[in-house]
Structure 1
Amino acid sequence: METKITGKIIVVGNNIDTDQIYPGRYLDIVDPKEIGSHCLCGVDENIAATFPKGGMVVAGRNFGCGSSREHAPIALLNMGAKAVLADSFARIFFRNAVNLGLLPIICKGLSQKVKDGMTLTLDLEKYEVTVQETGESYSCEKLGPQAMKILEAGGIKPLMRKKFGKEK
């Protein structure tokens, strides 16, 4: 896993639930590219089509609340998101994100200080986000060692395959 991630951002609000991230009407879709094309359409129908590939989502409080559907982090990954930075996450979404290989970072107050289209650099060694346009940096909460181990493997399934010596 990269220790520094740089990308353009989109900013969403507070209490973005899993149905806004990936609406239930699309749950029968299995093609990853098509899943990604519907990501965040509950917030704005055009987000996925205009999302900067390799970018990041910045959110307010309680991102990923609602149902426990794994489709939410799957959709974010397939939309091209490298990470989600939020004031806080719903617990189940946070664990699903880690287990599926999507980086969830708590960075309190960041959503109030940035705007759509800005470029951020997330430094996972310092747990700091720097806004390229202003040079300002903000501290983030450190992920635990087990979460980082899972993320570095690309998710829980790749970690278990590696651990038990099994191929896909």
Structure 2
Amino acid sequence: MDHVNSHRRRPVERSAAGSPLSSHRRRPVERSAAGSPLSSHRRPPVERSAEGSPLSSHRRPPVERSAAGSPLSSHRRPPVEGSAAGSPLSSHRRPPVERSAEGSPPRDRPLRGRAWLFGDDISTDHIAPGRLFHLRTDLPELAKHVLEDARPEFAAGMRPGDFVVGGRNFGLGSSREHAPRIIKLAGAGAVLAQSFARIFFRNAINVGLPVLQCDTSGIGEQDELEVDLGAGEVRDLTTGAVIPFVPLPEVMVTILDDGGLVAHVRKHGGFALPGGPDT
């Protein structure tokens, strides 16, 4: 016979659906009109703008806007310095175009100065030292070191109008345009040599530096020279010698007269060279 426990469990109350009902019943959950439960710890109502978007209690300051509606930053850039035409002016301005001290075309006046002698194969690295390549954006400063590696005393000792007198193959090496430019900036009247590297020769003409091919073997150190571009000769005033040089084409003389190729284009509003389409 089965033993029946006298301590029987109380019958479990069940809901209409058959699920047990606890004697410790939960409090009825409050629900919204949509049927979602409402917590007793209710959040404060969210403020909303007229458009319905929530407004934070930590509001950002209003953003300034331009007339076109674009936001204006409180960290505004400083105004850009403008030219008279309204175009911005960079703080890194191009150096001015070099012109002769007298301002007159080279062919209309003789060039006079002392001779500074250099040997054969003077390279563009001798003229504009590679160790000072960082000065290529400051040519007046670089000009203080012109030909320093060939003759350290040249830059400090030369006077405006003095001549650089070389031997064969003057200006060989890299085609750095600032090599002839700093010779001109230093104040040299012209470069005389028995022969020139072709790239240096054309760069020199383009920047307005006369380069004249002639026999320089009879010219002495510090001789007083006079160069007449119109007559095509070099006169050594110290010895009395007259040295002819290879005549420059009229196109090159015109470029030299105008102070260089860029100055020529600015002056004429384009190319106006002898034998060209505009002549």
Please give the TM-score of this superposition, normalised by the length of structure 2.
0.57
CA distance in 2, matches of 1:140, 1:45: 28
Shift of 1:162: 1.6
Question: Greater helix share, 1 or 2?
Answer: 1
Q: Which one of the candidate residues 133, 136, 139 is aligned to 2:244?
A: 139
Question: Greater strand share, 1 or 2?
Answer: 1
2:115 maps to amino acid: I
Residues 1-168 of structure 1: pairs in structure 2 closer than 5 A? 1-3=105-107, 4-29=110-135, 30-107=137-214, 109-110=215-216, 112-164=217-269
The higher radius of gyration belongs to 2
Which structure 2 segments of 5+ residues have no match? 1-104, 271-279
Shift of 1:161: 1.1
Aligned to 2:267, what secondary structure does the other structure show? helix
Equivalent residues of 1:35, 1:78 under 8 A apart: no
Aligned to 1:52, what secondary structure does the other structure show? coil
Shift of 1:45: 1.7
CA distance in 1, matches of 2:126, 2:177: 13
Give runs of ≥4 in structure 1 deviating > 4 Å.
none
CA distance in 1, matches of 2:266, 2:131: 32
CA offsets, 1:58-82, max 9 Å, x none? 1101100000001110110121101
Equivalent residues of 1:10, 1:116 under 8 A apart: yes
CA offsets, 1:10-33, max 9 Å, x none? 010111000001112212213333
CA RMSD, aligned part only? 1.2
Aligned to 2:169, what secondary structure does the other structure show? coil
Shift of 1:9: 1.3
Which structure 1 segments of 5+ residues have no match? none
Count matched residues: 163
What percent identity do the matched residue pairs reach?
40
Deviates more, 1:151-160 or 1:22-31: 22-31
CA distance in 2, matches of 1:45, 1:126: 34
Aligned to 2:116, what secondary structure does the other structure show? strand
1:2 maps to amino acid: P
Equivalent residues of 2:139, 2:178 under 8 A apart: no
CA distance in 2, matches of 1:31, 1:49: 18
